[in-house]
Amino acid sequence: MSLGIRCSSFNGLESMEYGNVLVPTIGANEVLIQVAYAGVNFPDSLIVSGKYQFTPELPFSPGQEVSGKVLQIGKSVDHVAVGDMVMASMTWGGYAEITKAHSNNVYLLPPEIPLDKAAVILETYGTAMHALKDRANLRVGESLAVLGASGGIGSAAIQIGKMFGAQTVAICSTKEKQDQAIANGANIAIGYENLKTQLKQIGIDVIVDPVGGEAAEQSFRSLNSGGRHLVIGFTSGKIPSIPFNLPLLKSASIVGVFWGSFWRESPLANRSNINTILKWFAQGKLDVQIGKTYHLSEAKTALAELVNRQVIGKTVLRVS
């Protein structure tokens, strides 16, 4: 047994209890990890509610990414060894002292990246990179509008968009979040009021949309000809229905982004993306801001703050 967050039902955050959890056993392609830090991500709130794309067997621990030390490797694993410091992602299981990950999602940690930051890179930067590079084919000089720009996906998209030479427009709900987006590198930060008019005045080529709801159609209607609207998530809780004539009239595309299926179907392409991200981090070209650090036992509080939009920067759980 080790300590972790145990969910015995899909009753949302209420089902998260701190206590004893089983130490996982690993297969040939898996790595057992002693967790140092675990990242807190919006999908953790979906999985504990039974609303995620994948449903674990009960009981389970949520948590999609960690940093830590390799305790054991499966017999087919040859790119990391016992004792190595790594960062890793998994669909669930990260909110625990000991977790496991498929070797495809385990990365040797460059010494320049501290353990707390290493636990909050893969999910958001991996998704933003896949979205902008593989799905939008973002080009130098294009304008990039980012909804939910103060959030995990949003702030990663601003930084990666700049690396691709885009002009970035951050959309955030409060002045404090807009200031944070500018500090994060956005060229312009605006609110959600009159979104279509504001974005049309700027002229937008690509939209990063982890929010959905009303903002989705407003921003899609602002796109330039040839624009791409990246559908990433629905933190607003509303999946929008956009009239099918709009993509035709605007000569613009609605493009789905699902990083979880990308790393499963194209592990080598994903590894190449992540290696680029790690290189940029090591060179100081990317940097993630840690907002708050909680102990693993406080995971429920940490996740509640995220869902209630009270977070600026990434939240991380200190585990061991």
Ligand X SMILES: NC(=O)c1ccc[n+]([C@@H]2O[C@H](COP(=O)([O-])OP(=O)(O)OC[C@H]3O[C@@H](n4cnc5c(N)ncnc54)[C@H](OP(=O)(O)O)[C@@H]3O)[C@@H](O)[C@H]2O)c1
Q: Does 127 bind ligand X (CB under 6 A)?
A: yes
- 99, 63 in Cβ contact below 8 A? yes
Distance CA 92, CA 96 (A): 10
Report whether 223 contacts 202 (CB < 8 A). no
With 0-12 / 13-18 / 19 or more C-beta atoms within 10 angstroms meaning exposed / middle / buried, residue 48 is buried
- At position 121, the amino acid (one-letter code) is I
Taking contact as CB under 6 A, which single stretch among the options 36-44, 82-90, 107-115, 279-287 is the one that binds ligand X? 36-44
Q: Which is nearer to ligand X, 196 or 309 (CB)?
A: 309
40 sits near ligand X (criterion: CB under 6 A): no
Please identify, using beta-carbon distances, which residue of 19 and 238 lies nearer to ligand X: 238
Stretch that binds ligand X, among 9-17, 29-37, 38-46, 83-91 (CB under 6 A): 38-46
236 contacts ligand X (rule: CB under 6 A): yes
Residue nearest to ligand X (CB): 151
3-state secondary structure of 292: strand
Q: Which of 2, 173, 276, 301 binds ligand X (CB under 6 A)?
A: 173
Dihedral (CA of 65, 70, 71, 73) sign: positive
Pairing of strands 223-231, 16-21: unpaired
Report if residue 92 touches ligand X, rule: CB under 6 A. no
d(C-alpha 179, C-alpha 226), whole Å: 30
**Does position 63 bind ligand X by CB under 6 A?**
no
Smallest distance, Å, CB 285 to ligand X?
21
Amino acid identity for residue 259 in this structure: W
Q: Is the CB of 67 or the CB of 224 nearer to ligand X?
A: 67
Contacts to ligand X by CB under 6 A: 41-43, 46, 123-124, 127, 148, 150-154, 172-173, 177, 210-211, 232-237, 257-260, 306, 309
